[in-house]
Amino acid sequence: MSKTKRSFRDFYQYYILVFTVIVLTIFIQTVVQYSLNKQQSTASIINIAGKQRMLSQQVLANFYECRFLECNYSELKVGLDALYRNNKSLQKGNSKIGLEPLSDSEILSMFANLDQHLNYLYANLHKIEDLKQADISSVESNADSFLVLMDAIVNRFQKVAEEEVRTLMVIELELAFLSIVIVLFEIFFIINPVIKKITLQNKKLKEISWHQTHAFSSHIQNIKGLQNIIKIEKKIEFKEELITCVMDELDSLEEVSSNMVNSLETTNA
């Protein structure tokens, strides 16, 4: 087996652990970011929808001023145009301010009812020459109906927003639970087995080290003893026997060394 394959086999559990953590982190951050963006968009919608109520009352007040007091038509026209423009943005969306097209069927139905009152106000108050001919009671009725419907739309937006927040909270809790399960799984089935394997390897290495050290020491001592005897021995035939004994000790020492290498490879397998 090549060193590269063995290295991958030895560390693939670590790779799985790191990869899982990275993927889980990215996924959670994506969900959190989506949640924040969704809440920001919803807050903008509710804010604009709330301002529509104020604008409708401002337009009605400006209409009264033009009919009974000093007329500031430019202020009325600005308010009316803003009322009409915001109404369109709330339904069709507006990329410049981060509004998406409305998809809630119930709110769209409410806007359909509201549009007829807004269209009446816009048609009868948009031109200054039409102000004197506009029927006061009809303007009041349509402005009041617009206000009531706009209140209902704001409340519906708020309810939808609360439902989305609850849904996102459930998703985030499920992700948190999933994260805990994955972490526990990795602890019990990846980290603990790796720790046990490393502990067992260290134990085997200590045992091998102890036995091989003593074996080496025994053979080295024998060789030194035989070396001293050879130095003082006079008879050639005895020296030859002693040299044979030294060779046997060297062979045994080589066998011990070979066994050590094999044991180390078995431990690392």
**Could you count the other beta carbons within 10 Å of the beta carbon of residue 83?**
21
Residues of the chain with CATH 1.20.1330: 3-191
Residues of the chain with CATH 1.20.58: 193-268
Phi, psi (rounded to 5 degrees) for 210: -65, -50
* Residue whose pair of structure tokens reads 């009325």 in the numeric block: 76
pLDDT cut 70: percent of the chain above it? 84
- Least confident span in 4-8, 47-51, 251-255: 4-8
pLDDT tops 60 at residue 3: no
d(CA 191, CA 185): 9
User: Which burial class, exposed, middle or buried, applies to 164 when counting CB atoms under 10 A from its CB (0-12, 13-18, 19+)?
Assistant: middle
Give 229-238 pLDDT, tens digit per residue: 777 766 666 6
CA distances from 172 to 2, 162, 179 (A): 45, 15, 10
pLDDT at 53: 87
Tell me the CATH class for 193-268.
mainly alpha
CATH topology of domain 3-191: f41 fragment of flagellin, N-terminal domain (1.20.1330)
Q: Please report which residue ranges of 69-135 form alpha helices under DSSP H.
A: 73-92, 105-125
